[in-house]
Amino acid sequence: HEAGRLDAADGSVDDALAALETDTIRVAPTMKPQEVSNTVWAYVALRRMPDDKTWAALESAARRVAQEMNPQNVANVMWAYSKLERMPDDTTWAALETAAG
């Protein structure tokens, strides 16, 4: 992946990622299942760990839309947890487990 080679001595990559984090926190409360899935997948693809506030917003969004997730959405979110070496909190785990059937 080209994303794995992102680097800029002038800080532009860090600035872009900081903007991504801010926007993610802003839109997470209205994300749809596919958007949650795509966003956590993108963090893995970028090989970046979301900061704590961003992760909390994404986890809250995942809980909120879990019942609307299709199997691919659930799989993508669980894959992202695994790749980012994170565990869902108990409530999120229960919501995703229920959604998975």
Q: How much is the pLDDT for 20?
A: 87
Name 46's Cβ contacts closer than 8 Å, sequence gap at least 6. 3, 4, 6, 17
CA dihedral for 85, 35, 74, 61, sign (positive or negative): positive
CA distance 85 to 12: 27
**pTM of the predicted protein model:** 0.84
CA distance 20 to 46: 12
Domain boundaries, the chain: 2-100
Does the pLDDT of residue 10 top 70, yes or no? no
- How does residue 19 score in pLDDT terms, banded at 50, 70 and 90? confident
Q: How much is the pLDDT for 39?
A: 96
CA distance 49 to 69: 23
Q: Are 80 and 44 in contact (CB under 8 A)?
A: yes
- How does residue 6 score in pLDDT terms, banded at 50, 70 and 90? low
Does the pLDDT of residue 67 top 90, yes or no? yes
pLDDT tens figures, 76-101: 999 999 999 999 999 999 999 999 98
